[in-house]
Amino acid sequence: MIFGVSGLNGAGKSEVVSYLEARSFYALSLSDVIREVLRDRGIEETRERMIETGNAIRGELGPGGLALKLADRLLPDRNYVIDSIRHPEEVAVLRSHTSRFQLIWVTAEDAVRLERIRARGRSGDPETLDELRRLEARELANEDPSAQQLLAVRDLADFTIANDGSLEDLHAKIQSLLERSYFFERPSWDEYFMSIARVVGSRSNCVKRKVAAVITKDRRIISTGYNGTPRGVPNCNEGGCPRCNAFAEGGTRLDECLCSHGEENAITQAAYHGVTVRGGTLYSTFSPCLTCTKMIINAGIAEVVYNADYPLGNVALDLLREAGVKLRQVALGNA
C-beta separation of 305 from 283 below 8 A: yes
Catalytic residue positions, numbered? 263
**Number of neighbouring beta carbons within 10 Å of residue 95:** 18
C-beta separation of 33 from 70 below 8 A: yes
Burial 296-330 (b: 16+ CB within 10 A, else e): bbebebebbbbbbebeebeebbebbeeeebeeeee
Single out the residue of 141, 254, 261 nearest to residue 200, CA to CA.
Answer: 261
Q: Give 50's contacts (C-beta < 8 A, 6+ positions apart).
A: 31, 34, 35, 38
Three-state secondary structure call for residue 118:
helix
How buried is residue 274: exposed, middle or buried, by Cβ count under 10 Å (0-12/13-18/19+)?
exposed
What are the two backbone dihedrals, phi and then psi, of residue 266, each rounded to the nearest 5 degrees?
Answer: -65, -40
